[in-house]
Structure 1
Amino acid sequence: MGVIFFHKIFMLSNINPNNSFKMKRYFYVILLFFSYTYVGAQEINDTCRLRPLSSINLSILGDASLISLSYERIYSIKPNLHLSAKLGVGYNEEFNICIYSPCPEPHKYTTIPHHVTCNIGFSKHFFEVGLGGTVIIGKTTQPYILYPILGYRFQSLNKKLSFRVFVEYPFSGAETDDILFVPVGISIGSVF
């Protein structure tokens, strides 16, 4: 089938298929072109595969949690562009300010933070922008908080360390009814 295809191409371009020297030369040029295209595409994929794609993170503050543990997966699009998806579980408690009397026991909440972000950068340093949310389980008047995310991400290529500093501000406003929402967070993790 391939021979017939090349024979028709050579007939359309006025090349005599019986002249084996010219035909071999054109065949090698076409073969070289396709192999270069294949090798070039393979280099990009291999570069993306060098980066570890999964991590377990411990976050302090941020994500509507005082502390949280999460799993994050990175999807490499290009060597300098990645998408990140995270799902975790955390802890928060009711925010009370008591001046004249002792504070009652604060309500405790389980949080489920999650996000999808786009990471743009080079080598180990990335700018992060995305959208996140947190499900709050417990007696609360605001069971879900949605927020944009801006941050800096350091992710090593040697499969050991991940570090994030991020800023979030809820779309519903900074005054949450029950919990303490800290707009700045730090995340440290192990990548694999």
Structure 2
Amino acid sequence: MKKIVLTLVIAMFAIIGFPQNHIDSTPKRPLNSIFINLLGDASIISANYEKLFFVNSSFILSGKLGLGYNEEYELCIFGSCSSSTEQYLTIPHHITGNWGKGRNFFEFGLGGTIINGNTSQNYLLYPIVGYRLQPLKSNKVNFRIFGQIPFSGIETVDILFIPFGVSAGVNF
């Protein structure tokens, strides 16, 4: 697992570090967005801020930070569940590469979530793969659908972990 993470981090820095010999022909698209995540990122719901970094006309890096909510997962087949479930504050974040043209991008990268509360695992690291619809103008809706599975396995996590999510928000 350490080799995979190290390889991805080195690849991201290598892409950023390549010198670009071109005239500034990158589209003047918005570089910031705020959005709501439903499911995914080890949260039931989260509010997020994202910053885009243009590498070239077909590759964009993105960094995200957010605050979310999750709760304890209890499966009660025989008998009753406890009357109160544990609630958690989550802090999802990611660095992803986005490859595509115009408004359509394939997204891939690494994400993590800090889980604040009494849980057996306070941090989850996971790969992210998804599709992103990124507008070309400010104050337009952005959309992403993505999936992820934690490296550590979901059987050791106390929270409700959904391996896919949907995001919608506004660029500015």
**TM-score band, normalised by shorter chain:** 0.7 to 0.9
Match of 1:108 in 2: 87
Give the whole-Å Cα distance in 2 for the aligned partners of 1:176 and 1:107.
Answer: 16
Once the two structures are TM-superposed, the CA of residue 177 in structure 1 deviates from its matched residue by 2.6
Please say if 1:152 is aligned against 2:131. yes
Q: Matched residue pairs, number?
A: 150
SS in structure 1 opposite 2:23? helix
SS in structure 2 opposite 1:175? helix
Give the whole-Å Cα distance in 2 for the aligned partners of 1:56 and 1:154.
Answer: 14
Larger Rg over CA atoms: 1
List alignment gaps of at least 5 residues for structure 1.
Answer: 1-37
Select the residue among 50, 55, 80 that pairs with 2:58.
Answer: 80
Amino acid at match of 1:137: N
Once the two structures are TM-superposed, the CA of residue 161 in structure 1 deviates from its matched residue by 1.1
Query: Higher relative CO (CA 8 A, sep ≥ 6), structure 1 or 2?
Result: 2
Once the two structures are TM-superposed, the CA of residue 80 in structure 1 deviates from its matched residue by 1.1
Match of 2:71 in 1: 93
Go from structure 1 to structure 2 and tell me whether the alpha carbon gap of 1:41 and 1:76 turns closer, same or farther (over 3 Å shift). Answer: same
Select the residue among 21, 30, 44 that pairs with 1:66.
Answer: 44
CA-based RMSD: 1.3
The structure in which a higher percent of residues are strand is 2
Amino acid at match of 2:164: V
What's the % identity of the aligned pairs?
Answer: 52
Match of 1:131 in 2: 110
Q: Encode CA deviations 1:78-112: one digit per residue, 9 max, x unaligned.
A: 11110000000000000011133332111000000
SS in structure 1 opposite 2:73? coil
List alignment gaps of at least 5 residues for structure 2.
Answer: 1-20
Alignment of 1:1-192 (within 5 A): 41-42=23-24, 44=25, 47-48=26-27, 50-104=28-82, 105-159=84-138, 160-192=140-172
Give the whole-Å Cα distance in 2 for the aligned partners of 1:72 and 1:173.
Answer: 27
TM-score normalised per structure 1: 0.75
Give the whole-Å Cα distance in 2 for the aligned partners of 1:81 and 1:99.
Answer: 48
Runs of 4+ in 1 over 3 A off after TM superposition: none
Once the two structures are TM-superposed, the CA of residue 180 in structure 1 deviates from its matched residue by 1.1
Amino acid at match of 1:163: F
